[in-house]
Structure 1
Amino acid sequence: MKSFCRVMFAVTLIFASAALPALDRQPNADYHARRVALANKLNGGVAILFAAEEPLLDFMPYRQDADFYYLTGWNEPGAALLIEAPQAAQGTHPARPYREIMFLPTRNLRMELYTGRKLDAASPDATQLTGVDEVKMMSDLAVTLNQMAAENRAAAYRIWSEPDTEQAKALVQWTATTLGMESAPPFSDVRTPVQLLRATKDAGELALLHKASDASVQAQFAMMKSVHPGQKERTTTGIIYEKLLENGCERPSYAPIVGSGEKSTELHYSDNSQTMRDGDVVVVDAAGEYSMYASDITRTMPVNGHFTARQREVYGIVLGAQKAAIEGLVAGKSHINDPQHKYPDSLDTIAFNYMNAHGKDLHGEPLGKYFIHGIGHSVGIDVHDPYDYSQPIQKGMVFTIEPGIYIPEEKIGVRIEDVFYVDQDGKLVDLTEALPKDAEAVEKAMRK
């Protein structure tokens, strides 16, 4: 218990003192290419995105808005990004080149005593550090947009921004008012085209996803070696936190789940408040975020280091279902996150059918009904990265395959989850393959 308290105290100090953790950032050219790709999806319009604001509470770590980070690699609060799509000459309006501007807030020197030095538009290295063609003061954003709309009124009707933010609403309203418009024009949701771009990962993103998975594998290894009867679930959680930070992660990519006994059958149990008991299984769903990129791993193990015959049977069926889904994947055809089995070729359907064919509950019913969630989800800057699941899996995607069976009556919950990448040949690459998952290999890892 004392060791766990020391771990969590260290975690608190690290999170509280590192308002802006250093991240492995991709080259400026990568972010510029993404901004140009977004401009090509704007139908001649203007996109405005806003960075996340500074947290109000000292103990809340800062995390940049995912879309903003994807386009800029910028990890300071309060900024805005404007992208103006190129357009050919139209009537009296001359041709318009591509344009990108980063707007930075005015420095608050007193606040920087607490949060550290920030960059603003007056900094001589602002353009070089941001990697954006132009850098202006945040106070220039409204004026700049107004000038664009004044030169061509069509620009006021081709704004792309974030409908759920007050900054976007206020900016569009101000622009409409200064142009003498009766009402603010509707604007399009910029997250839609950005999320289309985020669906497939480039080489730099893959490198970061590998690092996130490698660090998460090390945390899971340490967890496996520690589990034993009488150990608190929270102690296991603390070991995971310690190893994630030790291996370069800035934070866990989601609240760790350590559920033993009956709690192993609760999908999002996160209290982690029980004492693990001899004869139970424990489901540990925990991974880290490395330089804003997430991993997502789940392993199930026997608390005492040895599966019972029934636990081993159910575990083997879940592992078999995962292997069947892996073997059944066809890039450009297979779907994921299909718990209602709308697609006969989905990985969900393959796993469901496998479970039904290979095992029954205590009442003789097929086990497929205990698989109660989608088999996977896209992974990237967010652990649940945005994706249109009506579309099949594409080359370049990173996603999880995570079948599970949860039988409350037997206090047996089993989930096995790994992160995969579809390479350009349509083959799956397992980013978390270093972590054991065969029943015997799991037991062996617990004995080391």
Structure 2
Amino acid sequence: MRTLLALALLTCTTFAHAFESVPKPEYRTRRAALADKMKGGVAIFFAAEEPILDFMPYRQDEDFYYLTGWNEPGAALVVIASSPAVAATDITPARAMRPYREILFLPARQLRTEKYTGVKMDAATPGVTTATGVDEVHAMAEMPAILSAISPTHRLGSVWTEPDSKQTKALLDFFAASIGLGTTPPTQDVTDLTTELRAIKSPAEVALLRKASDASIAAQLAEMKAVRPGATEGHVAGVIIGKLMDEGCERVSYAPIVGSGKNATTLHYSSNAATMKSGDLVVIDAAGEYSMYASDITRTLPVNGRFTARQREIYDLVLGAQRAAAAAFVAGKSKINDPNHKEPDSLDTVAFNYINEHGKDLHGESLGKYMIHGIGHLVGIDVHDPWIYSRPLEKGMVFTIEPGIYLPEENIGVRIEDVVYVDDQGKLDDLIAKLPHTAAEIEAAMKH
């Protein structure tokens, strides 16, 4: 009976969380790499809390998922870096070598709640260590005692936590009281370490990002057939969402932006409430998330399927700026954004200069001032993956190139956005290459 129950638990869990994943050993490699950066410290992570029932689907905390691949709420991860032995002195006792440890803490099962949310695993579930891929799995209730057991002979060393985590603060307050410390141990921001780790994508991550991008391309192609005079922005957003689900995405990467006419000139327009009119442009910023990895695509379409001469002029200018930025890229040297457009190695500066040199507004002034946002951001488990933007882009990174021009006076907004990967040769691989780019390609794709 126990064997059958264990099989049922594992089977239900598999069906409930049928994400594709990087290989489990890769998660352990990430945890070990984090430990190397901590220089003898301890890192503490908590999973995202369960949302209010029936109102929002669950999504795991990004760093927690990056380090574990675990997609259930209520868990915690502790990574303990190895530290060398220390000889006794007149002031301090000897300290034995502390080995590397990684511990996943799982909450007790709530059988009543599972009737609504599905079966979960806990530390007592047979095969849980293999299922999670973490060296040690314990009940959440054991977490304070395990930390206290480390402390008397070793102390915790530097403690790395996610900033402003109420759960971590409560845990460390309890820990300090339980071993008689006068104050809660000071902490360091662990995202300073995980940001660097997450920026360089593994081949397995790139494969998932390609699937997210391919699904998003399919959704963008479907939307190109749905755009027409008289259709609502909301209808087009619905077509996009439906196609993303058809293509295997679990959710959108962000709320779709479908802005037509004057709405196309609002960067993060969100109402999607207007009816599209012949002669207007529509900016569509929409993409999906596949197995926790996001894509991010924007295309600009003529509502009636044909660009006017002025619309095509602005469209070609934005496309030229995107291509100029891509052509200027040098791995290890190029940066993404420079809000002042002064740094020559910034792709943002390249795009700004191209726009400034090649286009004019209705008053004969250069168009650079109408490029009101940066040219890109990193992409990964977050659609805006964290990065230190003062630093250059390296091999293995995935980021967007998305110049835009917004001219409210002319009812024209144009943005073109692709996701690119820096391969091991330092070259850009456009993950959105299969989607139409030129004005002629857009018009051809929109024909019914």
Q: TM-score, normalised by structure 2?
A: 0.94
- 1:55 is the counterpart of 2:51: yes
Q: Which residue of 1 aligns with 2:335?
A: 335
Alpha-carbon deviation of 1:85?
Answer: 0.3
Give me the whole-angstrom Cα distance separating, in 2, the residues matched to 1:180 and 1:244: 54
Q: Give the share of equivalent positions with the same residue, in percent.
A: 62
CA-to-partner distance for each residue in 1:75-103, whole Å, 9 max, x for gaps?
A: 01010001100111111211121100100
- 1:409 is the counterpart of 2:405: no
Give me the whole-angstrom Cα distance separating, in 1, the residues matched to 2:415 and 2:57: 30
Runs of 4 or more consecutive aligned structure 1 residues displaced over 4 Å after TM superposition: 18-21
The answer on whether the counterparts of 2:262 and 2:412 sit within 8 Å (CA) in structure 1 is yes
The one-letter amino acid paired with 2:46 is F
Q: Give SS of 2:229's match.
A: coil
Matches within 5 A, 1:297-336: 297-336=297-336
CA-to-partner distance for each residue in 1:211-259, whole Å, 9 max, x for gaps?
A: 0000000000000011100000000000000000000000000011000
Pairing partner for 1:39 from 26, 35, 45: 35
- 1:136 is the counterpart of 2:138: yes
The one-letter amino acid paired with 2:372 is I
Give me the whole-angstrom Cα distance separating, in 2, the residues matched to 1:373 and 1:318: 13
Alpha-carbon deviation of 1:40?
Answer: 0.3
CA-to-partner distance for each residue in 1:36-79, whole Å, 9 max, x for gaps?
A: 00000112011110001111131301000000000000001010
Alpha-carbon deviation of 1:339?
Answer: 2.5
Give me the whole-angstrom Cα distance separating, in 2, the residues matched to 1:121 and 1:395: 39
CA-to-partner distance for each residue in 1:2-32, whole Å, 9 max, x for gaps?
A: xxxxxxxxxxxxxxxx995421011110100
How many corresponding residue pairs? 429
Give me the whole-angstrom Cα distance separating, in 1, the residues matched to 2:392 and 2:163: 28
The answer on whether the counterparts of 1:356 and 1:368 sit within 8 Å (CA) in structure 2 is yes
What is the CA RMSD across the aligned residues, in angstroms?
A: 1.2
Q: Which residue of 2 aligns with 1:3?
A: none
The answer on whether the counterparts of 1:163 and 1:169 sit within 8 Å (CA) in structure 2 is no
The answer on whether the counterparts of 1:339 and 1:372 sit within 8 Å (CA) in structure 2 is no
The one-letter amino acid paired with 1:43 is K
Give me the whole-angstrom Cα distance separating, in 1, the residues matched to 2:350 and 2:216: 27
Alpha-carbon deviation of 1:342?
Answer: 4.4
Note the residue ranges of structure 2 that are not aligned, 5 or more in a row.
Answer: 1-13, 88-93
CA-to-partner distance for each residue in 1:309-349, whole Å, 9 max, x for gaps?
A: 00000000000000000100011111102222242221111
Give me the whole-angstrom Cα distance separating, in 1, the residues matched to 2:16 and 2:164: 25
Q: Give SS of 2:38's match.
A: coil
Give me the whole-angstrom Cα distance separating, in 2, the residues matched to 1:345 and 1:194: 26
Give me the whole-angstrom Cα distance separating, in 1, the residues matched to 2:80 and 2:103: 9
Distance 1:400 1:373, change over 3 A: same
The answer on whether the counterparts of 2:96 and 2:154 sit within 8 Å (CA) in structure 1 is no
Distance 1:232 1:118, change over 3 A: same
The answer on whether the counterparts of 1:299 and 1:416 sit within 8 Å (CA) in structure 2 is yes
Distance 1:369 1:351, change over 3 A: same
Q: Which residue of 2 aligns with 1:223?
A: 223
Give me the whole-angstrom Cα distance separating, in 1, the residues matched to 2:233 and 2:390: 37
**275-284 or 169-178, which deviates more:** 169-178
**418-427 or 52-61, which deviates more:** 52-61
The one-letter amino acid paired with 1:299 is R
